[in-house]
Structure 1
Amino acid sequence: MTISVPQTPFQDGHAIPQLGYGVWQVEDEVAADVVGQAIRAGYRHIDTAAIYGNEEGVGRAIASAGVPREELFITTKVWNSDQGHDAALAALDTSLAKLGTDYVDLYLIHWAKPAQGLYVDTWKALIEAQEAGKVRSIGVSNFPAEQLEEIIDATGVTPVIHQVETHPYWQQRQLRAVEERHGIVHESWSPLGQGGEVLEDPVITAIAEAHGATPAQVVIAWHLAEGFVVIPKSVTADRIVSNLAAAELTLAEEELEQIRGLDREDGRIGPDPATITF
């Protein structure tokens, strides 16, 4: 059975599969195996990053998958130590070599890192890379609203997507309002939370039971219903498959409202993008 994953359009004319496969904290050798599994299961959107240390493994999986490159959507990201105009362009070339491809579908600035003050120059480099054909679309990850507005004002070029921590306990409503004003697609990392707390929430488990679904499928279906691009990670074969099947789970509006009600002021798991130092 082929699972149909919706395509989310970008304002630059391209589109991204709304449900993808993330490989954060997946070792390079493991990535070569699990990304291959994901592609065979039906995923066409793979999300990696230079700092993950697994671009070569992802590249090996792409090369051996038996799927034409143009059918795959590959995202990678420039790391904080490679910010700045020239460094970012060099980092992209390194990532392309490791991935074994002459372009990526989406290149992101991994963190704004405001204190470093290089995000505008880095954004200008990404614009050049897109113009050169090395990148189809460009976006950002982990940008506070202030820095998001600043790169748009400085260049006149708006990121097509913003990837940031988002899950039922941390729903990013204020940031999403800024993104919506600019036509920026919202993408969720850590979409299932961490440590199992979200997946064990009584609201989530009750909805899962009602649908004969897993809690993870319910949370992924919520992201999709909200219009977010979502990139759950798993290295377990059955979960790789079941997470993709969430694309076929439809939640009732009442159930979506129940999940929206789980938002917390203290729900953030990861670091604050405004104050990171790494």
Structure 2
Amino acid sequence: MADQSIAEMLSRRVKLANGMSMPQIQLGLYMMSGREAASSVKWALEAGYRGFDSAQWYHNEREAGQSILNFLSANPSLKREDIHFTSKLRDNSTSYDVVRKSIKKSVDTSGLGYIDLFLLHSPYGGREARLTSWKAVEDAVEAGEVKMAGVSNFGVKHIEELMASNPKVHPVVNQIEVHPFNTQLAIRETCEKHGIVIQAYAPLARAMRFKNKTLLAMAKKYGCTAPQIMVRWSIQHGFVTLPKSSQQKRLIENVDVGKFEISQEDMETLDGLDEGLVTDWDPTDAP
């Protein structure tokens, strides 16, 4: 029963404004060495994960891509299209050519033939760099190197700036830190207005609040773990969620959240834990 439940959760997909979809639960590969990424992706694929979130900055695109290729080779019933792979531009640039080359390099490094979702990793660099970089991503989509485009760590003004530029390709997601201790309401409302799905990174708040009394009481009530409550909260808000673990047992346990549903009242209690907790960096107010 547990395995069915996990498989069902991992098969869930979120519809995007462009008519395409992506797995709602994906494995985040942040701060994983190449070796860790290779083994984590392998375990995750075996458990039923079909989405993986990498970045140029993570230096594990090659190992993650190779793990995916190895798995597809060993499982001929699955195709490349069944796996969703994300990467991100390390640095925005005012040079269109620099960004185009950088995107092509990511595609080549991953070895996957194309990247499903490519994001601007942050709004750093200023307006000209953001919009020039976006133009390069749009053209990568048109060239078939990338299937979908999005942004990461974009604040309200960055989203509005991009949408005001009348982009040829609309961003399908904004990947930001979101969890009960940092609910990011203003950014979420702006994204919703423009049909942009929220991708929640650090949905477990990097384990910084696992001993929170409210969270522990909730876990006890629903007969689950604190991380499972946080993943379930993310799912019930409709986010694409990216729980990260390099431990085989944990990356399966984290997504075993199909046996319970958090009540509306308890969701509101969890929303009320918001303290603006930033677990790593917050470029959302970059100039």
Q: TM tier, shorter chain? A: over 0.9
1:139 equivalent in alignment to 2:137: no
Q: Give the stretch that moved more between structures: 40-49 or 105-114.
A: 105-114
Matches of residues 133-212 of structure 1 in structure 2 within 5 Å? 133-156=144-167, 157-194=169-206, 196-212=207-223
Cα distance between partner residues in 2 of 1:137 and 1:108: 9
- Offset, 1:248: 4.6
**Other structure's SS at 1:76 match:** strand
State the Cα RMSD in Å.
Answer: 1.7
Aligned partner of 2:123 in structure 1 is 112
Identity %: 30
1:23 equivalent in alignment to 2:29: yes
Which of 82, 90, 100 is the aligned partner of 2:101?
90
Do the aligned partners of 1:217 and 1:249 also contact (CA within 8 Å) in 2?
no
Unaligned runs of 5+ in 2: 73-77
**Other structure's SS at 1:43 match:** coil
**Other structure's SS at 2:256 match:** helix
Cα distance between partner residues in 2 of 1:81 and 1:133: 21
Cα distance between partner residues in 2 of 1:248 and 1:175: 30
- Offset, 1:268: 2.4
Do the aligned partners of 1:162 and 1:185 also contact (CA within 8 Å) in 2?
yes
1:197-242 Cα deviation digits (max 9, x unpaired): 3221111111111122111011000000011111011011110111
Which of 271, 275, 282 is the aligned partner of 1:272?
282
TM-score (norm 2): 0.91
Aligned partner of 1:74 in structure 2 is 85
- Offset, 1:155: 3.1
Task: Name the count of aligned residue pairs.
Answer: 275
**Other structure's SS at 2:122 match:** coil
Aligned partner of 1:234 in structure 2 is 245
Q: Relative to structure 1, is the Cα distance of residues 146 and 84 closer, same or farther in structure 2, using a 3 angstrom cutoff?
A: farther
Do the aligned partners of 2:182 and 2:274 also contact (CA within 8 Å) in 1?
yes
**Other structure's SS at 1:137 match:** strand
Do the aligned partners of 1:113 and 1:274 also contact (CA within 8 Å) in 2?
no
Aligned partner of 2:66 in structure 1 is 60
TM-score (norm 1): 0.94
Amino acid of the residue matched to residue 257 of structure 1? Answer: E
Aligned partner of 1:13 in structure 2 is 19
**Other structure's SS at 1:65 match:** helix
Do the aligned partners of 2:227 and 2:254 also contact (CA within 8 Å) in 1?
yes
Unaligned runs of 5+ in 1: none
Do the aligned partners of 2:93 and 2:132 also contact (CA within 8 Å) in 1?
no
Cα distance between partner residues in 2 of 1:188 and 1:274: 14
- Offset, 1:136: 1.1
Cα distance between partner residues in 2 of 1:126 and 1:61: 25
Cα distance between partner residues in 1 of 2:94 and 2:40: 30
Q: Relative to structure 1, is the Cα distance of residues 276 and 28 closer, same or farther in structure 2, using a 3 angstrom cutoff?
A: farther
**Other structure's SS at 2:69 match:** helix
Cα distance between partner residues in 1 of 2:110 and 2:255: 23
- Offset, 1:57: 0.7
Do the aligned partners of 2:243 and 2:254 also contact (CA within 8 Å) in 1?
yes
